[in-house]
Amino acid sequence: MSDAVERTLILVKPDAVRRRLIGEILRRIEAKGYQPIAAELRIPAEEELAAHYAEHEGKPFYQPLVDFMLSGPVLAVVAEGQGVIPGFRSLAGATNPTDAAPGTIRGDLGRDWGLKVQQNLVHGSDSVESAQREIAIWFPNL
């Protein structure tokens, strides 16, 4: 893990918002020592999602993922801290909640939705470059 302070984009997805898990997810982020510096609850625009998931366009899961993300409010959060990118991804757990370890957000709070793996509570940027690109989409003035 790097000693540099990084920023990452975290999306609390519609399934977590519907289940009223925002507080618990933010509690875990802060308990890990990461600082939320921006947050906004909103229903994303389709254009934002197209830009966010551009690398997946044309893949079979792309449109179901976009449709799911349009299904309700999303809490977009920018968090910062030392090693926040790999740290949050570890805190989130494996993409499929069934495979996620106990103690992780997805392992403790996720549900097995079969093929609907996109309903996995949270998204976290996977690299510094992705974080910069994603933060610019969701928080262009930051």
| Binding residue positions for ATP | 13, 61, 89, 95, 106, 120
CA dist 84 → 8, 29, 108, 116, 130 (Å): 7, 9, 20, 27, 13
C-alpha 91/C-alpha 75 separation (Å) is 17
Annotated binding residues, written as ranges, equal 13, 61, 89, 95, 106, 120
Residues that are catalytic: 123
Token pair 């308990």 in the structure block, residue: 31
SS3 content of the chain, % helix, strand, coil (to 5): 40, 20, 40
Q: Please name which of 3, 2, 7, 4 lies closest in space to residue 76, comparing C-alpha atoms.
A: 7
